[in-house]
Amino acid sequence: MSNKTERDVEKSYPISDFISKLRRLADSLEKGEQFEIQIAGERIYVPVRAIYNIEHEREEGLEEIEFQIKWSNE
């Protein structure tokens, strides 16, 4: 069982920072390596076994695309 507290954070970044994070993610995926990222002050370690998906939502005139990375800490 994890000692981490629950968290639900959405953080906006300048486009240059967003591009840099995506580029680092792509590099890690191509190399088959763990991805590390800091979001709102917390360092996150994404394991190689993570599952990647893309979600599209449309509601009341708004559209959203989410690039999601999911894994279990078990």
> Is 63 among the domain residues?
yes
Judge if pTM exceeds 0.85.
no
10 in a structural domain: no
Position 4 scores a pLDDT of 79
Split into its structural domains, the chain has a count of 1
Residue 35 maps to a domain: yes
Residue span of the structural domain in which 65 resides: 15-70
Report the pLDDT value the prediction gives residue 46, as an integer from 0 to 100: 97
In a structure prediction context, what are the per-residue pLDDT tens digits for the chain, which is 74 residues long?
Answer: 457 789 999 989 999 999 999 999 999 999 999 999 998 889 999 999 999 999 999 999 999 999 999 999 87
Q: Report yes or no on 6 lying in a domain.
A: no
> What pLDDT is recorded for position 73?
87
Q: In angstroms, rounded to a whole number, what is the distance separating the alpha carbons of residues 69 and 45? A: 11
- Residue 2's pLDDT is 58
